[in-house]
Structure 1
Amino acid sequence: MSEKIARGTVRTTRSDVLLASAGGRGVLCGIYDEDAADTYHDLMQDADGTAEAREFADRIRPESGPVLELAAGTGRLTFPLLELGHTVTALELSAAMLDILRKRLENEPPDVRDRCTVVQGDMTAFALDERFETVVVSSGSVNVLDDAGRPGLYASVRENLAPGGRFLLAVAVAEAVKSESTERQQELSGLSGRRYVLHARMSPVEEIHEITIYPADETADPFVVCTNRIRLLKVDQVVRELEQAGFDVVSRTPFASAGQGSEDVLLLEALPRVAGS
């Protein structure tokens, strides 16, 4: 019996070795796929998004209305934004992750629940009934998209921004990555107590950061191997893409709370260009 592989999942060198060993117990999926939702949430529950949310919140005008959060996942950034008093529309493609987010909302006070709207949608192609003064994308999410996907993100954001609105996006950039390829491995503990192994490979030549997460227990059944490939982007490339999409990038700031990883992360603030300017 061969391993189960989710459609469109990225294979890594490490995942191939693991799946060959696991045989029929093996399940390969992207970290954002339905089969990975429990693993993602187990690890992300322990990843406090409060510091990241505060960096975004510092750039959100107090008088602005609801915030549109793209690629919300299970709410790592959503709940800190709510705790900071913002009204949030959380857009996420994965139905499994949205189920977890909704269950988490059920445990919140009515005031918090009433300030959060959950929407299933693709961040590269969405159209909502409301225009927002602020749209945010947390660190790494833009880097999952390829050259064909990013223009769809920019166009969708522009169509859903209110006049004078702000697009805040955190981008992992390639400028500070070492010239040679590097690999690292570490054990992680999920909030459930389950142990995982994270294997990361950084390739400056390919301009990717490749991640493989799997159970520390080699006998686990199913043996779920989660992968992700983050594209390391040049700052000038992203700025140029935004300008081509009708934005002006007004600031680029080091993103201090971006989390683990050897790549630098910048927080870009972009405003939709006024027609004729």
Structure 2
Amino acid sequence: MRPPAPPGTAGRRLAELGDGVVLRDLYDEHGSAVYHSLAGGDTHEIRELVRAVRPHPGPVLELGAGSGRHTLPLLALGREVTALDLSEGMLELLSARLRDVPALRDRCTVVHGDMTAFSLGRRFGVIVLGTTSVSLLDERGRAGLYAAVREHLAPGGVFLLSTVEVTPEAAEQVEFEQAFLDPRTDRGHVLYEYIGAGSRTVTILPAEPGPGPVDVYTTTIRMLPAELLVAELADAGIAVRTTHPLPAPSDRHRAVLLEAEVSR
């Protein structure tokens, strides 16, 4: 399904490009490689997440595993890791990375599944949802996530999830622009971030579009304050016991890692 046209400067750039634009979701089979190029080298929460996992024994379930930015460090802890994601393109990238690390891949099970409705027939000592992926879910999706997490946490197990908020100063600015290089192609891209009411829209397009169709990738991400997630988790019978500050991806964001366990 074609995503809606992005707002702000990105939308105006697309209008200038005209009928040659092919608008795609950032997380579909085409966009996954672009997302991996942008985020694959981002390590901003890995150290804190691994530190939070380490004291808790048992196998790890990683939700929204993507191309494996957290999966490989979790495997490096010596744990058995189940990596679940809805994007087949992302999981193909993860599987390719695992083929290059035979010492780790035998402890990793890759699962194509929906984090809002999964049933794996087993329980885990730790369930992880990083990269603020919870912001991709609407209220109904988050309720499904919490129910599935409850069903899959082992007694005494912990649920770790991260979220990001926009700072008050950034919220006043509304739009941001960032250039980056795609290492797969050595082509420049521009990322536009538009901050709206309760959400932010990210759009990526080539810095210098060539002739022919122009692939543009976009997604809208909810802004979920930690206080909202704490309240939702409590309603679902999952209590947040500790919060860990995270290094934010930029100075316009504030990030936190929540550590929770089943309370009833």
Per the TM superposition, whether the score is higher than 0.5 is yes
Equivalent in the alignment of 1:3: none
Structure 1 pair 107–215 and aligned structure 2 pair: CA distance change class (3 A)? same
1:157-195 per-residue CA deviation (whole Å, 9 max, x = no partner) reads 111111111000001135655452421112101222221
Within 5 Å, give how 1:1-277 maps onto structure 2: 6-7=1-2, 9-13=3-7, 14-47=9-42, 49=43, 52-62=45-55, 64-109=57-102, 111-173=103-165, 176=168, 178=170, 180-192=172-184, 193-203=186-196, 206-219=197-210, 221-256=212-247, 258-260=248-250, 262-274=252-264
Structure 1 pair 21–179 and aligned structure 2 pair: CA distance change class (3 A)? closer
Q: Is the 1:72–1:91 contact (alpha carbons within 8 Å) kept by the matching residues of 2?
A: yes
Q: Is the 2:86–2:113 contact (alpha carbons within 8 Å) kept by the matching residues of 1?
A: yes
Cα drift, residue 61 of structure 1: 4.3
Letter paired with 1:20: A
Cα drift, residue 97 of structure 1: 1.3
Structure 1 pair 220–231 and aligned structure 2 pair: CA distance change class (3 A)? farther
Cα drift, residue 84 of structure 1: 3.4
- Structure 1 gaps of 5+ residues are 1-5
Cα drift, residue 208 of structure 1: 1.6
Q: Is the 1:177–1:263 contact (alpha carbons within 8 Å) kept by the matching residues of 2?
A: no
- Structure 2 gaps of 5+ residues are none
- In the aligned structure 2, how far is the partner of 1:230 from the partner of 1:177? 19
TM-score, with normalisation over the residues of structure 1?
0.87
Q: Is the 2:56–2:126 contact (alpha carbons within 8 Å) kept by the matching residues of 1?
A: no
Query: How many correspondences in the alignment?
Result: 262
Q: How many percent identity over aligned positions?
A: 42
Q: Is the 1:15–1:227 contact (alpha carbons within 8 Å) kept by the matching residues of 2?
A: no
Cα drift, residue 10 of structure 1: 4.2
What's the RMSD between the two structures over aligned residues? 2.0
